[in-house]
Structure 1
Amino acid sequence: MNILITGASRGIGGAAYALLKKNGHRVVGHSTLGSDTLIAGDLMDPAAPRNIWDTALDELDGRIDVLVNNAGVYEAVSDNAPDEEWHAAWSRTMTINLQAAADLCRLAVSHFLDRGGEGRIVNIASRAGYRGDSPQHWHYAASKAGMIGMTKTVARGYAADGILCFGVAPGFTVSEMTAEYLQGRGGAKILADIPLGRVASTDEVAEVIRWLSVDAPASSTGNVVDVNGASYVR
């Protein structure tokens, strides 16, 4: 499989990137700043999704089989922040977490259709898209709920063409994005809310991404897989 994964420098994306490569797939990764092995692209730039896609397509000899939309931000903004700060936070979160992912989904669908169908998209959403988040993260929850709605829409719209679309909804996960919060006073409260007694590891989420990217049966298209230790069940 030829696979493009965004946000592949660390955390869930880094673990998925490493696992997919370990399993013998040709994987191109992306990060904001890029590296010797990762494509650079600031997803606040409207041109970035297409530039990332085109660069990955070149590196993968003109064929991408799977898109994994993992890149995202989890940044707080107070509900009583000044209007300018509030609007800037919403714009940044929605642009990176949802608009850029939508742009890449559209490019992937077009690519899959142009070659006669067949392809997979895996969108990394969040438990927050279903159950909400903290009072400082209205925008984050909204962006992930939007991603879930988009995932289901793509799945329904293109299944007949062999284009499958899945979501993953992690709860709190041990990663660079959450480590500081989990180690502070908020960590005990989080753990108390997880029947499993611990947060998920990035390797666990990466395995779900791998399965959806490669092995999940076609009839499961449209599903969003929860990885949250039963802290939210539906």
Structure 2
Amino acid sequence: MSQPHILVTGSSRGIGAATLAALTAAGARVAGHSTKAGIPADFSDNAAPKALWQAALDQLDGRIDVLVNNAGIFEAAPIDMDDDDWVAAWEHTMQVNLTASAQLCRFAIRHWQAEGRPGRIVNIASRAAYRGDSPAHWHYAASKAGMVGMTKSIARGYAGQGILAFAICPGFTMTGMAEDYVASRGGDKLLADIPLGRVADPEEVATMAKFCALEAPASMTGAVLDVNGASYVR
């Protein structure tokens, strides 16, 4: 690809913003998304991913070569919530973190199949997919485990068509969302569980996303890459 065309979701801050910057610096033409900046789309609405995909295609002259699914939410749902509220919190997190990503993966695969050409998917999952998360965040861990399983299924199902899929599993990353969570969980005490002694910078995760999007060899498809300071090793 002389200039790959890439869609990055959740690109207004943190990992998404760093990934958009890294891909742009590498010469890619990138369409960004968030609820307010770039191409706006609210993934709590199940019609939003389709609208986003079409808007990104329009912006990128009808061609998307790489999809980076980064958008996500991290909202507490403690078990002592009202039952209806607890179920609603689960459904909201699953819709935003997993189902919307699945919809975009489906649109991407069908796009590449229709044009008979290869493509790449990079899904930003989480350490929580393997290690789990706090008692108030079962749903977040489950959504990210689902993303890993989806990535592996896509890799196995479409590699023969040149469609590759990778997942990246960050631990804590110094974004606004992570800063609030680190503080709420005791700060230094939480950092003591990370052998590296610090959380990751968004740029570190972006380096991995750029590698998967542009450079990773085809035989790596289906790989899940950890970026967690050795706080969880598999």
Moved more, 67-76 or 79-88: 79-88
Please give the alpha-carbon distance, in whole angstroms, between the structure 2 residues aligned to 1:14 and 1:163: 25
Tell me what 2:218 maps to: 218
> Residue 59 of structure 1 aligns to which amino acid in structure 2?
Q
Tell me the equivalent position of 2:124. Answer: 124
| More divergent stretch after superposition (71-80 vs 175-184) | 175-184
2:198 partner amino acid: R
Structure 1: segments with no counterpart, 5+ residues:
none
Structure 1 position 186, deviation (Å): 2.1
Residue 15 of structure 2 is matched in structure 1 by 12
The answer to whether the aligner puts 1:27 opposite 2:30 as a matched pair is yes
The equivalent of 1:159 in structure 2 is 159
Q: Structure 1, residues 184-217: CA drift from partner, whole Å, max 9, x if none?
A: 5522222111111111000000000000000000
Superposition map of 1:1-234 within 5 A? 1-34=4-37, 38-184=38-184, 186-234=186-234
TM-score by length of 2: 0.97
Cα deviations by residue, 1:85-135 (Å, 9 ceiling, x for unpaired)? 101110110000000000000000001111113000000000000110000
SS in 2 for 1:18: helix
TM-score, normalised via structure 1 length: 0.97
Specify the SS of the correspondent of 2:168.
strand
| Alignment CA distance shift 1:135-1:184 (3 Å) | closer
Distance in structure 2 (CA, Å) of the matches to 1:146 and 1:213: 21
From the superposition, tell whether residues 31 and 79 of structure 1 become closer, same or farther in structure 2 (CA, over 3 Å). Answer: same
Per-residue CA deviations over 1:17-62 (Å, capped at 9, x if unaligned) read 111111111000000123xxx0000001111001000000011111
C-alpha separation in 2, matches of 1:183 and 1:80: 22
> Percent of aligned pairs with the same residue?
61
Structure 2, unaligned stretches of length 5 or more? none
How many residue pairs get aligned? The number is: 231
